[in-house]
Chains A and B, each alone.
Chain A
Amino acid sequence: MLLGPALALSAILFSIGVAGVIIRRNAIVLFMCIELMLNAVNLAFVALAQLYGVAGWVIVFFVMTVAAAEAAVGLAIILAVFRHNQSIDLQNVNLLHG
């Protein structure tokens, strides 16, 4: 049972993902950092499945599915934004500026 260290690893990976989201300006890389965060969460669920049973695995299953759907739609949006701005630098995506 590696619950403690596994959860610690999950926390560290999640933090790294957050840091990446804050630092990066490129939309796609930002997305990849979000995927990293999702992975960290998956790890936490799997680790806890050792205590709480198969529900942990099932949730991971669903998370992956949703992550896939989200990636597809998100990347499509990035494509559309790129066609409009000719760049995917998030600094330029500020039409909601007020």
Chain B
Amino acid sequence: MSLLAARVAEAALAARPAGAVGLVWLAVALPLAGFVVNGALAILRPRAKTVVSVVGTGVLVAAFAVAVAVFLEVRRAAPEHPVIVTLWPWLHAGDLKVDLAFQVDQLSTLMLLVVTGVGGLIHLYSVGYMGADPGYARYFAYLNLFVAFMLLLVLGASFPVLFIGWEGVGLCSYLLISFWFTDQQNADAGKKAFLVNRVGDFGFLIAMFLLWHTVGSLDLATVLDRAPAALGTETATWITLFLLLGCIGKSAQIPLYIWLPDAMAGPTPVSALIHAATMVTAGVYLVARTGVLFALAPASSLVAAAVGALTALFAATIGLRQYDIKKVLAYSTVSQLGYMFLGVGAGAYAAGMFHLVTHAFFKALLFLGAGSVIHALQHAYHATGASEDPQDMRNMGGLAGRLPVTYRFMVIGTLAIAGLPPLSGFFSKDEILAAAFARGADQPVYYLLYAMGLAAAFLTAVYMARLVVMTFLGTTRVGEAERSKLHEAPASMTGPVVALGVLSAVGGLLNLPAGIAWGPALERWLHPVTRAALELRPLAPPGGTTAALLVAAAVAAGVLGLVVGYRATSRERILPARLAPPETGFARVLYRKYFVDEIYQALIVRPVVWLSERVLWRTVDQAIVDGVFVHGGVWLAHRVGRLGSRLQNGQVGVYVILFLVGALWVLYAVAG
């Protein structure tokens, strides 16, 4: 153990790029160390709360400090090409040379800041939220491990290193979703997430194999350099389609989004961090990172954009009729991820990344706010001994007075996600829609995708307004006994909520439209990274009047949605969950999420299980491998042995005969 640490330190201090960039490995090492410490504490001293809190949150804060240092360095140096920080050689086999190396450029720095920053806030929130949980140390251990893997993913300089992070975050997602694994449903949800992700990982692997085969390297910089010359359109299309499969799994798009709503079984901060701000955005990051490849294959870009737009609309419709507050936010995440894919699919990589950042802010805010509400209700139910569902919005209502801070900032988050100016969501969503519309000039089908995006924006505003009204406004449906027990969350929880609220509000300043103040700062920041892709597939931004109309349309959709949502929900007669009548008609279809899970179960899961049980297990394994080969081998050996032993029956007469036969044989051989 100490030998490993010494070796790591030595490798780190060896030839490194000077300055903060050389220390970027600390950003990964610190959360990893946190995992080790918290993991040890989880096993040895599970009740050591203070140490765990300090270590768990402290490493994130330190990692954020490293991220800021790296950011400042990169800003000062403004490299045109990524800076590679190599730790040690990893895979050296024949022509394949993959090192454990990090790639520091504008894109990875951006992700680094988002992950450590938002992650740090959520760690702080978790101190309050998970304070009473017996698995506290284990929780922070897993959370730290997750951050380590996520940073490995965004900082990886080659596909295999990225893939380690990719798989690692999948693992941590599984561990954290089934954190309360004693409940079968939670365990199942974790399994579902992992298995569905696996389908995507298969695509990622195939893409890696194809890249190695065609380009001859797996280092990101080398691949993106060589790709335009080495890959034809068809090859590039295949590679990017397989990569897209990976992204679809990881970022919960159609048809592999089914794990995300179920993932809400995990603790709410986990939902905020992993299933809103970071892990699910890995797919978007990957597309942005390999933008050159996608630019070489317009067909796959179209697929990405189409899947994104369709998912955005589809998930938004489901969100209209969900009653679990976290499920609404889950489908909202799926929908917003669709937006990001629409953006990067259309070729506006900076716009997609911008939405990634703003979404991290306001989605994390919304989740943490929901967490505060759930926490308050849980506390109240615990005090009175009730067994209601603390996550069902039908059991909420009128909480604005009791949780004022949470309420106000949830409203900010809602307005942000609905795209109201001047909040961050407005800028990012509008950029994506503008990009989609602009791409329509090359490929008219993008106009349809634009329309779908606009419709999704409208629906987003509707269901978010519904959420706010159901949760915070109107007459409360919380029981009499519980009402007095409700109180605002502690400072450790409201602090991050406030911070994220501020970021959601002002986040739009990162990338203002051209002509206003400093203009598109984020786009300029990412330019060295996206330049190659943009040169291959340029995107002309829409002109002045068109741009203004698009903005107006987006804002109108948002405002209209909020109004419609507010009025419809206010007028609706909502009963507490246990009294609520079952859904009917199309509302039922939406509530049951278009029965997609049931369809998958019938079409995919049941046949596969049947195949494994009947064919592979009973027939191949039991009958053939066990029966024919193992038992059969035994039977054969036994039979042959028995046959052979008949020669040795001790009868002299038989021996004489055998002897004679042998003698005859010799005679024949000698005499011919």
Q: Do A and B bind each other?
A: yes
B645, CB-defined interface residue at 8 Å = yes
Interface-facing stretch out of B233-241, B632-640, B650-658 = B650-658
Provide the bound-state CA to CA distance between A56 and B335, in Å.
112
- A98 proximal to B (CB < 8 A): yes
- Report chain B residues within 8 Å CB of A98: 645, 648, 650
- In the complex, the answer to whether A94 meets B653 with C-beta atoms within 8 Å is no
- Which of A2-10, A18-26, A45-53, A66-74 faces chain B? A18-26
CA distance A44 to B648 in the complex (A): 34
Q: Are B653 and A96 in contact (CB under 8 A)?
A: no
Q: Known interface pairs A18-B660, A22-B660. Does A90 touch B648 (Cβ–Cβ under 8 Å)?
A: no
Bound-state Cα–Cα, A38 to B314, Å? 104
Contacts of B584 in A (CB 8 A): none
Interface string of A14-49 (1 = CB under 8 A from B): 000010011001000010000000000000000000
Whether B651 and A90, one on each chain, are in contact in the complex, defined by CB atoms closer than 8 angstroms, is yes
Give Cα A30 to B652, complex, Å: 11
Interface string of B636-672 (1 = CB under 8 A from A): 0000000001001111110011001000000000000
Tell me the bound Cα distance from A90 to B657 in angstroms: 14
Q: Which of A67-98 contact B (CB under 8 A)?
A: 90-91, 93-98
Are B650 and A22 closer than 8 Å at their CB atoms? no
Residues of A within 8 A of B645 (CB): 98
Q: A90 contacts B652, CB within 8 Å?
A: yes
**Residues on the B chain within 8 Å of A21, using CB:** 656
Cross-chain contact A22 with B649 (CB below 8 angstroms): no
Closest to B659 in A: A21
Closest A residue, CB atoms, query B648:
A98
Most chain B CB neighbours (cut-off 10 Å) among A30, A90, A95: A90
Q: A22-B653, A90-B653 are in contact. Are A96 and B648 (CB under 8 A)?
A: yes
Per-residue interface assignment for chain B, residues 606 to 638, with 1 indicating a CB less than 8 Å from any chain A CB and 0 otherwise: 000000000000000000000000000000000
B649 partner residues in chain A, CB cutoff 8 A: 94, 97
Q: Who on chain B is nearest to A98 by CB?
A: B648
User: A-side interface residues toward B, CB under 8 Å?
Assistant: 18, 21-22, 25, 30, 90-91, 93-98
> Can you list 21 pairs linking A and B with CB atoms under 8 Å apart?
A18-B660, A22-B656, A22-B657, A22-B660, A25-B653, A30-B652, A90-B651, A90-B652, A91-B651, A91-B653, A93-B652, A94-B649, A94-B650, A94-B651, A95-B650, A96-B648, A96-B650, A97-B648, A97-B649, A98-B645, A98-B648
Known: A94-B649, A97-B649, A98-B645. 19 other contacts (CB 8 A): A18-B660, A21-B656, A22-B656, A22-B657, A22-B660, A25-B653, A30-B652, A90-B651, A90-B652, A90-B653, A91-B653, A93-B650, A93-B651, A94-B650, A94-B651, A95-B650, A96-B648, A96-B650, A98-B650
